[in-house]
Amino acid sequence: MSPRYRALSAILSAAVVITACSDAPPTSPVATLGINETRAPAPQGLFHRFVSIGTSVSMGWQSDGAIAATQSESWNAQLARLAGRSQSAPLISGTGCRSPLMAPLASGVRLSGESAAAQTFSCAPLEAGMRVPSQNVAIAAAKTRDALLTTPETQADAFYKKLYPQILPPHTTQVQAGLAQKPKFVSVELGANDVLDARIGIAIPGATITPFADWATDYDRVIEAVSREVRHGLLVGLIKDAADFPSFRRGAEIWADAQTLLYGFHVAVQADCGDVNRDNLLFVPVLVPTAIQAGLTAKAQGGNPVPLSCAGAGPTTRDFILTPGEVAIVNSQMAQMNAYIKATAKRIGFAHMELEALYGLPDLKPTFSAAELMTSQTPYGALISLDGIHPSTMGHAVIASAAARAINQRYGLRVPTARAWMAFR
């Protein structure tokens, strides 16, 4: 197999490990963002002790990993700066934990030099002088129940067992670590990981989706603990449509790129993609690189093009394809959760915004191109990182701006909003 084929095949396994709720510039996992640094005096007191509880989005996870540079550009870190303050974070040294993917994806490597397809990942220590907990206690892949109950000792996953002690003290949960710092302002961004496992192609409450009643019970317990100690805060809702994720593409979009896939990668897109399965959602980070790797291997061996169908293999099969019916299940649950989060914010007097502020942008997704996916520096657009799920630094600026507007509206403040990202639309 040629070096080109080996490089392309290296991303296959890596795509499967992408977690929920990671971007990178052309040659680095972080970009410098020029934002409006005008300071408004009014919000400084409120943000004196600003704590964030949440998932990978609030942690600053980009391109399937976290390093100090991306953590420092999380939406909440940018929000604190807009308010004239800073928010401490557990900055990870060196090449990160886990090390982010590098562009282009065809290179098949992470910042650390590890294969993108590695089954185990290195985890660099915190930067010198870092102490835990910091004001940002958000953790990648955390579900709402994890924020309540999971400590470094009770985390069972092999990788996250390395990450949790980087963020939380021994025998301490996110909620406990955050509130122990006696914050004046708290952001709570939870819920995405309670539905995002459905991306594997299985949308079943109780299996890949936390049943709404169970999630609501856990969320109530988080909010009860927070609101008992803190008078001001921001609750962050979810997206509205699973199709908003740039990592999901409809069968019709794959069909539109059939010629490139055939002649560039020896992949034969099946007619069902443009017909009966045109509305199915395919999780691109897994399905397209898998097909490309197989196609290039077949071509090198003189074989026929590898078929790529957009038909799902059934509701209980891990096929990384969601039918319209499965999408409806996911979207219905997210609608319930969004309504509940919004009502909760109103009940306790907190500000409220949704991640839809970024993921609902009408021009967020560029036109799908397999060639761009494999070779572009920004395969999912300027606002989304190399994993197709998490915001880039510029994407975080969009969320920070939406958060500032929500806080200004609720509390009558004058937190400035960033506008630099508009040039990238």
Hey, CA dihedral for 289, 291, 296, 300, is it positive or negative?
Answer: positive
Q: For residue 376, give Cα distances in angstroms to 66, 128, 381, 386.
A: 21, 35, 9, 10
Residue 43 is predicted with a pLDDT of 66
Residue 419 is predicted with a pLDDT of 58
How many Å apart are CA 277 and CA 358, to the nearest integer? 28
How many Å apart are CA 194 and CA 413, to the nearest integer? 32
Residue 110 is predicted with a pLDDT of 96
How many Å apart are CA 89 and CA 69, to the nearest integer? 11
| 117 three-class SS | coil
* Residue ranges of E strands in 232-305: 232-237, 248-250, 267-269, 281-283
How many Å apart are CA 255 and CA 283, to the nearest integer? 15
How many Å apart are CA 352 and CA 231, to the nearest integer? 14
Q: Domain spans of the chain?
A: 3-248+325-424, 250-308
Residue 27 is predicted with a pLDDT of 31
Residue 12 is predicted with a pLDDT of 40
pLDDT tens-digit profile, the chain (425 residues): 444 434 444 444 444 344 334 333 333 333 333 333 334 345 678 898 999 999 999 999 999 999 999 999 999 999 999 999 999 999 999 999 999 999 999 998 999 999 988 888 999 999 999 999 999 999 999 999 999 999 999 999 999 999 999 999 999 999 999 999 999 999 999 999 999 999 999 999 999 999 999 999 999 999 999 999 999 999 999 999 999 999 999 999 999 999 999 999 999 999 999 999 999 999 999 999 999 999 999 999 999 999 999 999 999 999 999 999 999 999 999 999 999 999 999 999 999 999 999 999 999 999 999 999 999 999 999 999 999 999 999 999 999 999 999 999 999 999 998 654 444 44
- The CATH class of the 3-248+325-424 domain is alpha beta
Rounded (10°) CA dihedral 339, 422, 79, 151:
60
| 282 three-class SS | strand
The model carries a pTM of: 0.90
Max CA pair span of the chain: 68
